[in-house]
Amino acid sequence: MSAAVTAPAAGAPAASRGILLLLLLPGLVALVVTFLLPLLWLFRASFASSAVGTLSGGDWTSEAYTTVLFDPFYWRVAWNTLVLGFNVAVFAVILSYPIALFLARTQSRFRGVLTALAVAPLLTSSVVRTYGWMVIFGDRGVINSTLQALSLTDGVIRLTNNSLGATVALIEILMPYAILAMLSGFGRLNVQLEEAAAMLGANRLRVFTRIVLPLSLPGVLTAALLVFVLAISSFVTPRLMGGGRVFVLGTEVFNEATVTLNWPLAAALSVMLLVLFSSIILLYQRALRALEV
Amino acid sequence: MTIRMQNGISRMFLRAGILAAGLAAFAGAAQAQDASIKGTVNVVGFSGVFADNYQKFIIAAFKEKYPGIEVTYQQSKNSAETLALLTLQQADPKIDVALIDVSVAIKANKSGIFAKLDPAKVPSLAEMPDWSRLDGDKAVAFSQDNLAILYNTDSVKQPPTSWNDLTDAKYKGRIAAKLGDTRGVILLPILDKLKGADYKDTVDPAIDMLKEIAPNVSTWEPAPDCYAVVQSGEVDLSICWNGRAQYLHDTQGGKIAVAAPKEGSIGQTNTIGLVENSKNAEAAQLFINYALGTEAQATFAEKSFYGPVNTKVTLPDAVAARIYGSKEAQAAQMSLDWNFVAEKYSAWIQRINREVIALN
């Protein structure tokens, strides 16, 4: 009797697990083929010999890695990349926070429209938006020609073709991601808590610093991480806005792959970027978890 | 019904065509058509204007001579991409002929991408200079596009005449110079010669001169390219290729023009190669022979301002002036030992990137 009862009970989870696996299978296969295999291939390519133009195969050598690790230039490039990512993340989050907060709390019936507007720039390619910034920031662009027309400046103020231009353009380009990430992370915000604090005598600044900010922090940190990761892996914007003066890992990978044809070195730099990513994400998740407890 | 009618008509035309072809063949060698050789030649090469011109002036003319041979042209963004494609297909190539940068061709030859050309099948080889025949005829140079100073005809009333003008303070922040690639690798020997040095000994004088030019450079990464920034007036000067600029000058209202420095220049050299294990080697070598021949070389020089390599080609003065500049510049035209340069390619670009661009 009891066996008859337990048998289907034990069978049910097994069957559902089987169905679950079956459902996951197409996704897993796609992931392995489109993501894991190329990654393994990249890893293998980074250990190939640079002397021959082969993509993979041949003897294993760590030549590319020794080149990268013992060359101070690449350390500086890695440092540039981190600084760029950090600046972009901080400013994108600061600028996006009020927008996201407003969108999260507004009672307006246009809320949906406003949210769509805030993330609408994502519909345009970042290349197009980078060109937009080049028009605005160029030596004869909107800002410089306006300043000169108003006789506020004599010469040209160099706004683009340097890291300033690359940073500003990246901030704007990545802001929609920050807004989206914060919106989804603001779930714990609760107007009643703020009302309670206000009733207990807290002024608006105090309500913000003691209630709103701490509750929105997970969303803020997620947004910062997302923007940081997107910024350090960016290539088009630093290349176009940097005027060749901004050396980051993305641009170096491109140069080694297409100009000097040192594919193992390009692969090694990519792996380095990947390691940088993963370790930062791991550390960050630890920090986030500590924060939630 | 209509379809069948069209079929009937087209069949009629086809018959008429065959008849006409037969007659033409009968009429003698005047047309020099040879339909007896059949096959397909798959070519991969540069994209954009080059592709248009190459298809129009070389491939179309070849097909007229050999109606039995089909030639396809696949565009590739750059030689690196072509090399990647050829490397991936090495076991079973789908490409028969590749047009590729000389420095990339030398690299490709190290991994056996190209096959030796047969002088019996490619008699044009006899007319090619020694320097153009790489690694025993595995890839042969077929055109040279000079590095030149391009200028905006509105803002520059007195076009530069010398490479030295690039250091002139009046161009402060007004030059576009993409030098982290073949352009830089070619500019170093030019500037070296200007300073009385030899690129085989040292490129230090050239690097020093680049440091003097650096304050004048607005962007080292002109976007979308080194021609558009001149045409839009974003910069006054640009250090870039002659052929495309001449073409744009003629076709887009003359906003851009070429100042060929009197000290002469060096051409970016394009090579043509037969892919190892090509399944259409016969037809492919026929095509390469045509592409290297005097007729194709002269036409391509005239239409796209790429300098010919075939020694039997003589250019009309007007064409020569637009490819190489003044008589003085023509006399000073240089060529490089590409095998030597290919060895130094990465190192020179690294020096330009690190000592000039990163510090300015």
User: The complex's ipTM?
Assistant: 0.83
B146, B266 contact by CB (below 8 A): yes
CB of B353 within 8 Å of any CB in chain A?
yes
Within this chain, do residues B98 and B230 fall inside the same structural domain, yes or no? no
Chain A contact present for B228, CB below 8 A: no
Residues in B closer than 8 angstroms to A247, CB to CB, are 353, 358
- A–B CB contacts, 8 A cutoff, strictly below: 72
Whether A6 shows a pLDDT value over 70: the answer reads no
| B24-29: long-range contacts, CB 8 A cutoff, minimum separation 24 | none
In the structure encoding, which two tokens stand for residue B352, read together? 């330009």
Average pLDDT over residues B151-176: 96
CATH at B178: 3.40.190.10
Asked whether the beta carbons of residue B223 and residue A240 sit closer than 8 angstroms, the reply is: yes
Question: B94 and B150 share a domain?
Answer: no
What is the widest separation between alpha-carbon atoms in chain A? 96
**Do B294 and B240 fall into the same domain?**
no
Enumerate residues 262 to 321 of chain B having a beta carbon within 8 A of any beta carbon in chain A: none
Q: Are residues B232 and B204 in the same domain?
A: yes
| Band of residue B118 on the pLDDT scale cut at 50, 70, 90 | very high
Q: Count the alpha carbons within 13 Å of B102 in the hemisphere toward its beta carbon.
A: 31
- Please indicate, yes or no, if residue B11 is contained in any of the structural domains: no
pLDDT of B29 above 60: no
- Give the mutation candidate from B114, B219, B236 for the A interface (greatest A CB count, under 10 A): B219
- Residue-level pLDDT at B260: 95
Query: Is the pLDDT at A9 greater than 50, yes or no?
Result: no
The whole-angstrom distance between B211's CA and the closest CA on chain A is: 14
- Whether residues B135 and B150 share a domain: the answer is no
Residue for token pair 């291939």: A41
In this prediction, residues B311-331 reach a mean pLDDT of: 95
Q: Between chains, do A244 and B178 touch, taking CB under 8 Å as contact? A: yes
B216 belongs to a structural domain: yes
Distance of alpha carbon A202 from alpha carbon A212, whole angstroms: 12
- Nearest alpha carbon to residue A256 among B219, B348, B268, B350: B350
Question: Do B262 and B135 sit in the same domain of this protein?
Answer: no
- Give me the pLDDT at residue A50, please: 64
Residue B18 belongs to a domain:
no
Q: Which residues pair with B146 in a beta bridge?
A: B267
Which chain A residue has the Cα nearest residue B359? A245
Mean pLDDT over residues A8-36, rounded? Answer: 82
Between positions 202 and 221 of B, the ones with CB within 8 A of A are: 218-221
Of A138, A255, A261, the CB nearest to B104: A261
Cα B105 to the center of its chain, rounded Å: 13
- pLDDT at position B9 is 47
Q: Are residues B170 and B86 in the same domain?
A: no
Which domains, from first to last, does chain A contain? 66-292 (1.10.3720.10)
Phi-psi region of A161 (alpha: psi -120 to 50; beta: other; left: phi over 0): left
Give CA A189 to chain center in angstroms. 24
Whether B8 is in a domain gets the answer no
A-chain residues near B220 (CB < 8 A)? 161, 243-245
Whether the predicted pLDDT of B140 surpasses 90: yes
Residue B98: give the domain boundaries.
Answer: 36-144+268-317
Of B111, B218, B349, Cβ closest to residue A54: B111
Contact residues on chain B for A51, CB-CB shorter than 8 A: 110
Query: Same domain for B234 and B332?
Result: yes
Residues B108 and B286: their CA atoms lie apart, in Å, by 22
Q: Which two tokens stand for residue A178?
A: 């920050």
Sign (positive or negative) of CA dihedral A144, A147, A150, A152:
negative
Element at A192 (helix H, strand E): helix A191-199
The number of angstroms, rounded, from the C-alpha of B198 to the middle of its chain's C-alpha atoms is 25
Query: Chain B residues with CB inside 8 Å of A240's CB?
Result: 221, 223
Q: Is the pLDDT of residue A148 over 90?
A: no
Same domain, B179 and B161: yes
**B219·A55 Cβ contact <8 A:** no
Overall number of domains in chain B:
2
Smallest CA–CA distance from B77 into chain A, residue: A258
pLDDT at A194 over 90: no
Taking CB atoms and an 8 Å limit, are B84 and A158 in contact across chains?
no
A contact set with B (CB within 8 A): 51-55, 73, 131, 134, 138-140, 156, 158, 161, 239-240, 242-245, 247, 255, 257-262
- Range of weakest confidence among A169-178, A209-218, B137-146: A209-218
Nearest to A140 among B87, B233, B345 (CB): B233
Please check the confidence at residue A225 and state whether its pLDDT lies above 60: yes
Tokens of A3: 């066996």
Region class of B323: left (phi > 0), else alpha (psi between -120 and 50), else beta? alpha
- What is the three-class DSSP state of B337? coil
* Per-residue burial over A98-131, b = 16 or more CB atoms within 10 Å of its CB, e = otherwise: ebbbebbeeeeeeeeeebeebeebbeeebeebbb
B23 lies in a domain?
Answer: no
Query: Cα–Cα distance between A87 and A10 in angstroms, integer?
Result: 54
Is there a domain that residue B344 lies in? yes
Both tokens of A187, joined, read 């779930």
- Predicted pLDDT at B17: 46
Distance separating alpha carbons of residues B76 and B47, to the nearest angstrom = 6
Closest-CA distance, A212 to chain B, in angstroms, reads 44
Same domain, B49 and B99: yes
DSSP B75: E
Question: How many other C-beta atoms can be found within 10 angstroms of the C-beta atom of residue A36?
Answer: 11
Q: Which residues of A touch B106 (CB under 8 A)?
A: none
Cβ of B354: how many Cβ atoms within 10 Å? 14
- The predicted pLDDT at position B25 comes to 41
Q: B177 lies in a domain?
A: yes
Tokens of A48: 């190939």
Considering CB atoms only, which of B80, B181, B220 is closest to A245? Answer: B220
Find chain A residues with C-beta within 8 A of B354's C-beta. 73
Chain B residue with the nearest C-alpha to that of A161: B219
On whether both B307 and B346 belong to a single domain, the answer is no
The whole-model pTM stands at 0.85
The Cα B134–Cα A101 span in angstroms is: 65
* Confidence band of B264 (pLDDT split at 50, 70, 90): very high
Do B78 and B161 share a structural domain? no
Q: Is A250 left (phi over 0), alpha (psi -120 to 50) or beta?
A: alpha
The answer to whether residue B345 sits within a structural domain is yes
What local confidence, expressed as pLDDT, does residue A138 receive? 87
Angle between helices A213-232 and A72-105 (to 10 degrees): 140
- Mean pLDDT to the nearest integer, B334-347: 92
